[in-house]
Amino acid sequence: MSDAQTVSPSSHADGGHAHPAHLAHHFETTGQQFDTGKLGMWAFLATEILMFGGLFCAYGVYRGNHPEVFIYAHHYLDKTLGGINTVVLIASSLTMAWGVRCAQLGQQRGLRVCLILTLLGGFGFMGIKTIEYSKKWNTHKWVGVGNLYHPGFSGGADGATAHSQDATPGGESEQSGGATPGSEAEQSGGAAPDAHTSDKTADGVEPHTPAPGTTMAADIDAPAAAGSRDAPAGIEKSLIAAPAQGPAGVAPPWRGNPDADAHVVHYESGHGAMEFSDLPPAEQQRVHIFFQIYFLMTGLHGIHVLVGMGLISFLVFKAFAGAFGPGYFTPVDIIGLYWHLVDLIWIFLFPLLYLIH
């Protein structure tokens, strides 16, 4: 077949092997080349879904174990900005799909307009994300010890500071190296001021010895305490001791609601705004993990948006060179698939992170 004369207008002589300029030598037809590229893209998208699936699994496990942490901490996310970002991404998905249509029909001007609008959508999304991230940074809701709920946060880890939106700025950069364990231990005493006032002395005397019959509680709490690696011994101790109060192993009521059973109902139905003091002491120490999950999931998604913006910029350049048309639009199509997947992942991230009830 290679020495047959081609009827394609964009053919070039290539050692007697004539074919359209866009058709690589190892493909017989444009359709075969298109299908190959598209299947490759879908295989890649499948791995992307599996990667994000791991993060969604981490989210599900942690939310399943600590629903009250999510109910409390998600109030720090801006639902309105998140909603606007959802609309921005959906709109950019529309212009991307429209751009593929323009490329298929050879509408060069429409293709350029659609690609540029899609790129602007990416800028809009990342701009709003920057506003959100900046607010988190300025109010010490960052990752690791940059989060004021982290036991190692040196800007103030007591309940009062953790509860206020405007912690003193400036402590952020200084405490990145880690605070001294001694000060953390002192702060841990104040982390739950009213939680175990009755036996603070007992806690101090026997930091690592659970009361008889509470070994199971200690075993359960140990992995969670290990989650904050640099948590001092004092904090682990408070996690264990909290449910071990009382002669019959009855946990003490925490401030805000003396009726422990009512609290269980409260968390599961989730009505009303939850105060930091409503959280059990052990859960107060875990609030920062919500922000780790939030930043990891939205951060990885944001990186994907940035990559997509780079790819679409490439498409804009090629489109202005007139590279795409009815016979060849594979790059527009498969980069469009990638962009739609980024949109699709955000469609799940938005309700799961921002719209917790």
Partner 1 sequence: MAAAHAHVEHGFDPTHDFHAHVVPIPVLLAVFAVLIVLTALTYAATFVDLGAFNIWIALLIAVVKGSAVALWFMHLRYDKPFYGVVLATSLLFVALFIGISLMDTLEYRVEYKPGATTVATDA
CA distance 147 to 292: 9
Contact 8, 314 (CB under 8 A): no
Question: Of 164 and 292, which CB lies nearer to partner 1 in the complex structure?
Answer: 292
Main-chain phi, psi angles of 254, to 5 degrees: -100, 165
Are 335 and 308 spatial neighbours (Cβ–Cβ below 8 Å)?
Answer: yes
CB closer to partner 1 out of 64 and 177: 64
CA 38 to chain CA mean position, Å: 28
Asked if 156 and 185 touch (Cβ cutoff 8 Å), the reply is no
CB of 204 to partner 1, least distance (A): 22
Q: Torsion-angle region of residue 149: left (phi > 0), alpha (psi -120 to 50) or beta?
A: alpha
Pick between residue 67 and residue 156 the one whose CB is nearest to partner 1.
67
Cβ neighbors of 126 (< 8 A, separation 6 or more) are 302, 305, 306, 309
**Residue 77 Cβ vs partner 1, minimum distance, rounded to whole Å:** 12
Q: Using CA atoms, how far apart are residues 165 and 20, in angstroms rounded to an integer?
A: 62
Least Å distance, CB 54 to partner 1, is 7
Q: How far is the CB of 132 from partner 1 (least distance, A)?
A: 16
Query: Taking the complex as a whole, how short is the minimal distance between the CB of residue 4 and partner 1, in angstroms?
Result: 4
State how far the alpha carbon of 250 is from the alpha carbons of 188, 202, 210, 214, 263, in Å: 22, 16, 14, 11, 15
Comparison of 16 and 54: residue with beta carbon closer to partner 1:
54
Which residue, 35 or 275, has its beta carbon nearer to partner 1?
35
Q: Please, which residue, 84 or 185, has the CB nearer to partner 1? A: 84
Residue placing its CB nearer to partner 1 in the complex, 229 or 357: 357
**Ramachandran area for residue 144 (φ above 0: left; ψ -120 to 50: alpha; else beta):** left
The angle formed by the CA atoms of residues 147, 152 and 154, to the nearest 5 degrees, is 80
Q: How far is the CB of 191 from partner 1 (least distance, A)?
A: 16
Q: Which of 185, 137, 179 shows the shortest CA–CA distance to 154?
A: 179
Question: How would you classify residue 264: left for phi > 0, otherwise alpha for psi between -120 and 50, otherwise beta?
Answer: alpha
Nearest approach in angstroms of CB 331 to partner 1 is 14
Instruction: Kindly state the smallest distance separating residue 213's Cβ from partner 1, in Å.
Output: 5
Cβ distance to partner 1 smaller for residue 105 or 131: 105
The single residue listed with the structure tokens 């982290």 is 150
